[in-house]
Structure 1
Amino acid sequence: MKRTAQVSDSMIINVDADTLWAQVADPTQMPRWSPENIGAHTPAESRPLQVGEVFEGSNHRSRAQWVTECVVTASEPGRRFAFQVRRIGAGSPVISADIATWVYDFEDVGGRTRITETWNDDRSAWPDWVAAIIDRVLTGGSSFADFQRRNIHWTLTTMKDEFELTS
């Protein structure tokens, strides 16, 4: 069975697209919403990153922790922020590999914003059966697509709750 290589979800949040984009385009803010991300180290002070800038993300799942190296591939104020995960490791990102691409699209809907978060599985060189076994081990029994579908919904719901509580 061919694996799902892309998962996305959308939510409308009662905040303008520029404000929401500025927060998402600063990876140091992601631990506020993500169930896995616990921090990010950026090349300069906390701010929206631009195309080509590299940052490290710290993540955890259960007792496992890892660090990723990511490069920003899109950074359009109020419209899009995207990055590619290109290295990974336990203490530092030492293993180079095509891992994933994350995309956040922002659409103005009358002063509110439809944010769409998309995860792309970049492990296209991996045979589906190998990915399926590894996915089930690393996620506790599900595919990465199903796992990321839940994570994306969690992230967007947490964003909505936070932004609408403060607006």
Structure 2
Amino acid sequence: MGSPLLQAQIDIHAPVPQVWALISDLRRMPQWSPQCRAMLVLGRTRVGAKAINLNRRNKMFWPTTCTVTEIVPQRKLAFRVDLNAMVWSYELEPIEGGTRVVESRRAPEGFKTVPTLLVDKMMGGVPSFEQELVAGMNESLRRIKTAAER
């Protein structure tokens, strides 16, 4: 069984609107995420919008689809991965001198049997894969910070 919540955060020395512009453009997800190679939003980014993703880990590639579940402009963007029901979100908070960004992965519906078995067999098990996901979150946030502070 995995962790119901994975999370990372960073403080960025840029105003919320500038950081929001980077995060809310989901087509740019491959620039931030070390695992995401492509993210194609079908239509405009809005609650209910679908996206097709291509992910990579070492030599393994796999597609996923997701659904945008929440948009609070300049505050929160969330999407649900359709296969495993994991909800990924970015939350922005104004702080002195910039923006705090928290990236989270939640398991509101628990862990689905088939995706968990696939992670166990193909990705070295849930604990090590979750460690890799948190490392990826931290890398994503560092990349967003670098872009925002340019």
Q: Normalised by the shorter chain, which TM-score bucket?
A: 0.7 to 0.9
1:110 aligns with 96
Deviation at 1:20, TM superposition (A): 1.4
Instruction: Give the C-alpha shift of residue 43 in structure 1.
Output: 2.1
What percentage of aligned pairs have identical amino acids? 25
| Counterpart Cα distance in 2 of 1:126 and 1:102 | 16
Q: Does 1:73 pair with 2:69?
A: yes
Query: Aligned to 2:51, which of 27, 30, 55?
Result: 55
- Partner of 2:130 in structure 1? 145
**Larger CA Rg, structure 1 vs 2:** 1
The whole-number CA distance in structure 1 between the counterparts of 2:2 and 2:125 is 15
Count, aligned residues: 148
What residue is the counterpart of 2:105 in the other structure?
Answer: 119
Residue from 143, 146, 150 that aligns with 1:158 = 143
Aligned-residue offset at 1:40: 1.3
TM-score calculated relative to the size of structure 2: 0.86
Please, which runs of 5 or more residues in structure 2 have no aligned partner? none
Runs of 4+ in 1 over 4 A off after TM superposition: none
Backbone CA RMSD of aligned residues: 2.2
Contact 1:28-1:41 at 8 Å conserved across structures: yes
What does residue 29 of structure 1 align with? 28
Give the AA of the match of 1:152. Answer: M
Q: How far did residue 123 of structure 1 move?
A: 6.3
Query: Greater relative contact order: 1 or 2 (C-alpha under 8 angstroms, separation 6 or more)?
Result: 2
**1:57–1:152: structure 2 CA closer, same or farther, 3 Å change rule?**
same
1:7–1:27 CA distance, 2 compared to 1 (3 A): same
CA-to-aligned-CA distance 1:59-81 (integer Å, 9 cap, x gap): 11111111111111111111000
- Does structure 2 retain, via aligned residues, the 8 Å contact 1:5–1:145? no
Secondary structure at the aligned position of 1:98 is classed as: coil
Where structure 1 has 5 or more consecutive residues not aligned to the other structure, the ranges are 87-96
